[in-house]
Copies of this chain bind each other. A is one copy, B any other.
Amino acid sequence: MDRDIFICHNCPMTRTMATIGTKWKPIIIYTIGKKKVRFGVIHAKMGIISKKVLTDQLRELEEDGIVKREVFKELPPRVEYSLTPKGLELLPILNMLTRWNQKHHGNTSGKGLRVR
């Protein structure tokens, strides 16, 4: 996404979408939650995201101060991700979104189960 188009715009919603308005970012934030999570764990939990895209998105979230990245000098390497205070503040809002969805859409898991 060309984030520049957004930044200039003076609609607050538009500016917000420039930061977290992508297919994966809210899911990544939600997946990390309040814990410290290794890259591989995020990847496994999300299931259907490629390593490359996950890396890219995590980098952008880090740039925007939403995610913290800690590298341990071990072998094999270990990298832990966690939410910054800014990211943590997003959690309750995302939870409201899922509650909104559950209320109106019901629980559709199991229906139309069609994983690639």
Residues of A that sit less than 8 Å from B by CB: 1, 4-5, 7-17, 19-23, 26-27, 30-31, 46-48, 65, 86, 89-90, 93-94, 96-98, 100-102, 104-105, 108-116
Once bound together, how far apart are the Cα atoms of A108 and B100, in whole Å? Answer: 30
Most chain B Cβ neighbours within 10 Å, of A12, A65, A110: A12
Q: Do A109 and B8 have beta carbons less than 8 Å apart? A: yes
Q: How many copies of the polypeptide does the oligomer hold?
A: 2
Shortest 8 CB-CB distances between A and B: which pairs? Answer: A12-B98, A13-B30, A10-B109, A16-B101, A8-B113, A93-B96, A13-B27, A86-B104
Q: A17-B23, A21-B26, A96-B93 are in contact. Are A102 and B12 (CB under 8 A)?
A: yes
Q: Do B23 and A11 have beta carbons less than 8 Å apart? A: no
Once bound together, how far apart are the Cα atoms of A46 and B102, in whole Å? Answer: 29
Q: Do B112 and A4 have beta carbons less than 8 Å apart? A: yes
Q: A5-B115, A97-B93 are in contact. Are A17 and B26 (CB under 8 A)?
A: yes
